[in-house]
Amino acid sequence: MPKTIVKNKRKHSPLRHFSYFLLGSLMGLVALTAFFVSQFEEKYKDRVYPGVTVGHIPFAGAQSADIERYWQSKNESFQKLSFTFQYENRSATVSGMQLDLGYDATLSGRQATSIGRNGSFASQLIQKYQGLTQGIDLKPFFRWDIQYLANVLDELATGIDIEPENALFEFQKGRVSAFKPAKYGRMLD
């Protein structure tokens, strides 16, 4: 008599089905997250991440050149200024253009686009998260040519500065033979 082979069909337990469901859901969630992250990174490639401001001006999605143009336009009013330093009949006038007075537009552009792109992977994530949740405000750097200003003031000082003189007392034979009072000096500060 031939033997009948009976296959033993094992039923998978509900726990095993639930485990597969959880694993599949987790893999789907990871894939969905990776998709959204890649879309986010593509959208902000070479652009400022959301939540980043410079001087409280929002620049999310802007490129470095956009930020530079903005701050350079703000510098136009500083270029038209003039400053007069005066003491009695001496004066010196300098313009904002001569002083190269204004915001460092290039620095502001570089700093804003570097948020979320520098440091370790973890610090980049923290910066992006902080920008999205709390915001990151960068202070614009204001600059001027300090050496040019120093040269102008040094030239002005040549007509203002007076060296102090000590008093002179000379005694000969117990008597004052020469006397000159002290003179105060002055110096441009």
Tens of pLDDT along 4-45?
A: 665 655 666 888 888 888 999 999 999 998 999 889 889 999
* b/e code 97-116 from CB counts within 10 Å (16+ = b): ebbebbbbbebbbebbbebb
Q: What is the C-alpha separation between 150 and 59, in angstroms, rounded? A: 36
Give yes or no for residue 179 having a pLDDT over 90. no
Measured from the Cβ of residue 62, the count of other Cβ atoms closer than 10 Å reads 20
Tens of pLDDT along 96-139?
A: 999 999 999 999 999 999 999 998 999 999 999 999 999 999 99
Q: What is the C-alpha separation between 138 and 29, in angstroms, rounded? A: 35
Please name the amino acid found at residue 136: I
**Would you say how long the chain is, in residues?**
189
Between CA 88 and CA 93, with CA 92 as vertex, the angle to 5 degrees is 130
Looking at the chain, which runs of residues are DSSP E strands?
Answer: 52-54, 57-58, 82-87, 90-95, 102-103, 136-138, 142-143, 168-172, 175-180
Q: β-strands 82-87, 102-103: how paired?
A: unpaired
Which residue in the block uniquely carries the two structure tokens 């789907």? 28
Predicted local distance difference test score (pLDDT) of residue 45? 93
